[in-house]
Structure 1
Amino acid sequence: MQNNRTFFTDSSNYPYENIKMNRVIHTTLLALVCSIVTFSAVSSDANEASNDIENITVEGFTTANKEPVGTFVSLVSNLEYDPRVDLQSRNMAEAQADVTIRGGIFENTGFRVGSATLLDPQTGHYFSEIPIAPEMLSQAYILTGADNALYGVNSSVGTVSFDWKPIKTAGSVSIGAGNNHFNLHRIHSGISMPLDDAKDWSIGFEGEYSFSESDGTIDNGDHDFKRTSARVQLVGPSSQTDLFFGSQDKFFGWPNMYTPFNVNETEDLRTQLLMLNHKQNYATDSTFEISAYTRRHNDEYVFSRENPQIFQAFHETEVKSVAFSGRHGQTESFALNYSAQFIEDSIESTTLENNFTSRRYYKASVLPEYQMSLKNDEQLTFRLGAAFDDTNRDDSDVSLIGDITWNTFSSDDTSQTLYLSYAEASQVAGYTAIGGSNTSGLFRSNDSLEREKTKNLELGSAFDGLNWSFDSAIFYRKDNDLTDWTYNLNSTSARSANSVDIETLGLELLATKRLANAEIITSYTFLDKSEDYGAVDIDASFYALNYPGHRLTLGVIWNPTDIIEIRVDNEWRKQQKNILRNSDNDALFTHLTLKVSPASFQGLDIIFAADNLWDESFEEIPGTPGRGEQFTITVTYNW
Structure 2
Amino acid sequence: MQKLGLLISFLAFSAAAFAQTDTTTQDLGEVLIQENRIQIPFSKQSRNISLVSKLQLETTPARSLAEVLSFVPGVDIRQRGVTGVQSDVSIRGGSFEQTLMLLNGIKLSDPQTGHHMMNIPVPLVNIDRVEVLKGPASRVFGQNAYAGAINVITELSDKSYARVQGYAGDFGMKGINFAGSLPIGNYKQNLAISYDDSNGHWYNSDYQVSNIFYEGGLNMNEKNELKGMVAYTDRSFGANGFYSSSFPDQWESVQTTLASLSHTLTQNNFYLNTRAYFRRNTDEYVLRRNEPSFYQNFHTTDVFALEANGKFDTKLGTTGFGLETRKEAIESTNLGNRARVLTGIFLEQLVNLGSKADLRAGVYSNYYSEYGWKHFPGAEFGFQATTDLRLYSGYGISYRIPTYNDLYYVGPTNIGNDQLQPEQAQNFEIGVKWSKSGLFAELVYFSRSTDNLIEWTRPDADTPWQPQNFSEVKFNGIEASLNYRVSPNGQVVQVKELNLSYNYINADLINQPGIETRYALTALNNQAIGGVLVGIGQKLEWNTKMRYVERMNQDPYFLLDMRVDYNRTGKIGVFTEASNITNEDYVEAGTVQMPGRWFRAGFMLNFE
The two structures have a TM-score, normalised by structure 1, of 0.81
Aligned identity (percent) is 20
For residue 400 of structure 1, the aligned residue among 354, 365, 377 is: 377
Change (3 A) 1:603 1:171: same
Which residue pairs with 2:565 in the alignment?
Answer: 595
Residue identity matched to 1:188: A
Q: Does 1:222 align with 2:206?
A: yes
Shift of 1:365: 2.2
Give the aligned partner of residue 165 of structure 2: 174
Q: 1:537 to 1:364 in 2, by over 3 A?
A: farther
Aligned equivalent of 1:522: 500
Distance of 1:615 and 1:262 partners within structure 2: 27
Aligned-partner SS, 2:239: strand
| Equivalent residue, structure 1, for 2:299 | 315
Return the index of the structure with the highest Cα Rg.
Answer: 1
Q: Measure the CA separation in 1 of the matches of 2:299 and 2:163.
A: 36
Does the C-alpha gap of structure 1 residues 276 and 57 become closer, same or farther in structure 2, counting only changes over 3 Å?
farther
Indicate how the Cα distance of structure 1 residues 163 and 62 shifts in structure 2: closer, same or farther if over 3 A, else same.
closer
Once the two structures are superposed, the pairs formed by residues 21-420 of structure 1 within 5 Å of their partners are 61=52, 65-67=56-58, 73=64, 75-92=65-82, 94-134=84-124, 136-145=126-135, 147-167=137-157, 168-194=159-185, 202-235=186-219, 236-238=221-223, 240-261=225-246, 263-284=248-269, 286-331=270-315, 333-354=316-337, 357-374=338-355, 379-408=356-385, 410=387, 415-420=388-393
- Does the 8 Å CA contact 1:228/1:248 hold for their aligned counterparts? yes
- Cα shift readout 1:83-104 (whole Å, capped 9, x = no counterpart): 1311111113531121101100
Greater length-normalized contact order (CA 8 Å, ≥ 6 residues apart): 2
**Structure 1 counterpart of 2:369, which letter?**
N
User: How far off its partner does 1:523 sit?
Assistant: 0.4
1:467 to 2:438 alignment = yes
How far does residue 105 in structure 1 lie from its aligned partner after superposition?
A: 0.5
Q: Which residue of 2 aligns with 1:15?
A: none
3-state SS of paired residue (2:384): strand
Q: Give, as a single letter, the amino acid of the residue that structure 2 aligns with 1:590.
A: L
Alignment of 1:437-448 (within 5 A): 437=410, 441-448=412-419
Q: Is the 8 A contact 2:260 2:276 kept in 1?
A: yes
The answer to whether the Cα contact below 8 Å between 1:70 and 1:631 also exists between their aligned partners in 2 is no
User: C-alpha distance in 2, partners of 1:590/1:458?
Assistant: 31
Cα shift at 1:207: 0.9
Corresponding residue for residue 451 of structure 2: 480
Moved more, 60-69 or 564-573: 60-69
Note the C-alpha offset of 1:214. 1.0
Match for residue 25 of structure 2?
none
Residue 69 of structure 1 deviates from its aligned partner by 9.0
Q: Residues of 2 paired with 1:489 and 1:511: CA distance?
A: 44
Q: How many residues align?
A: 553
Q: Which amino acid aligns with 1:416?
A: L
1:13 aligns with none
Bigger drift between 400-409 and 316-325 goes to 400-409
CA distance in 2, matches of 1:634, 1:138: 21
**1:509 and 2:490 aligned:** no
Q: Distance in 1 between matches of 2:294 and 2:54?
A: 42
Tell me the CA shift for residue 468 of structure 1: 0.5
Deviates more, 1:237-246 or 1:293-302: 237-246
Counterparts of 1:314 and 1:341, CA distance in 2: 29
1:163 CA displacement: 3.9
State the SS of the aligned residue for 1:432: helix
Deviates more, 1:605-614 or 1:615-624: 615-624
Confirm or deny: 8 A CA contact 1:231 1:243 kept in the other structure.
yes
| Matches for 1:571-610 after TM superposition, within 5 Å | 571-578=547-554, 585-597=555-567, 602-610=570-578
Unaligned runs of 5+ in 1: 1-53, 195-201, 579-584
Aligned-partner Cα distance in 2 for 1:303–1:477? 37
Counterpart of 1:373, as a letter, is G
- 1:173 CA displacement: 1.1
Asked if structure 2 preserves the Cα contact closer than 8 Å seen for 1:180 and 1:214, the reply is yes
Counterpart CA distance in 2 for 1:638 and 1:337 is 41
Identify if the C-alpha distance between structure 1 residues 240 and 322 changes in structure 2 by more than 3 Å, giving closer, same or farther: same
Give the distance between the partners of 1:486 and 1:80, measured in 2 at CA: 27
Q: Give the residue type in structure 2 aligned to 1:311.
A: Y
User: How far apart are the structure 2 equivalents of 1:289 and 1:507?
Assistant: 36
Q: Is the 8 A contact 1:65 1:568 kept in 2?
A: no
Deviates more, 1:91-100 or 1:304-313: 304-313
The 1:100/1:617 distance shift into structure 2, 3 A limit, reads: same
TM-superposed CA distance for 1:62, in Å, is 7.4
**Structure 1 residue 556: deviation in Å?**
0.9
Shift of 1:243: 0.9
- After TM superposition, where is structure 1 displaced by more than 6 Å over at least 4 residues in a row? 54-59, 68-71
Contact 1:589–1:614 (CA<8 Å) still a contact in 2?
yes
1:68–1:78 contact (8 Å) kept in structure 2: no
Normalising by structure 2, we get a TM-score of: 0.85
Partner of 2:404: 431
Match of 2:15 in 1: none
Find the residue that maps to 1:545 and give its secondary structure.
helix
Question: Which residue does the alignment assign to 2:594?
Answer: 626
Asked if 1:617 is matched to 2:585, the reply is yes
Unaligned runs of 5+ in 2: 1-38, 44-49
| Contact 1:612–1:628 under 8 Å retained in 2 | yes
Kept after mapping to 1: 8 A contact 2:59/2:563? no
Alignment partner, residue 421 of structure 1: 394
Task: State the one-letter code of the partner of 1:372.
Answer: L
Cα displacement string for residues 229-254 of structure 1 (whole angstroms, at most 9, x for unaligned residues): 21221135455432111112111113
Aligned with 1:153: secondary structure? Answer: coil
- Secondary structure at the aligned position of 1:626 is classed as coil
Residues 87-134 of structure 1: CA deviation (Å, up to 9, x unaligned) = 111113531121101100011011123343222110011022121234
Secondary structure of the residue aligned to 1:594 is strand
Q: Please list the CA deviations of residues 163-217 of structure 1 after superposition, one character each: whole Å capped at 9, or x if unmatched.
A: 44222422211222112111212221112232xxxxxxx2112112211111112
Cα gap change, 1:336/1:66 in structure 2, threshold over 3 Å: closer, same or farther?
Answer: same
CA distance in 1, matches of 2:128, 2:473: 33
How much is the aligned-residue C-alpha RMSD, in angstroms? 2.6
Distance 1:264 1:68, change over 3 A: farther
Aligned-residue offset at 1:301 = 1.0
Query: What residue identity is the alignment partner of 1:172?
Result: R
CA shift digits 1:410-445 (9 cap, x unpaired): 3xxxx22111111002120100001234xx633210
Counterparts in 2 of 1:630 and 1:148: CA distance versus 1, 3 Å: farther
Instruction: Show CA shifts across 1:286-312 (max 9, x none).
Output: 533333211111111111224433222
CA contact (8 A) 1:69 1:609 kept: no
3-state SS in 2 of match to 1:360: strand
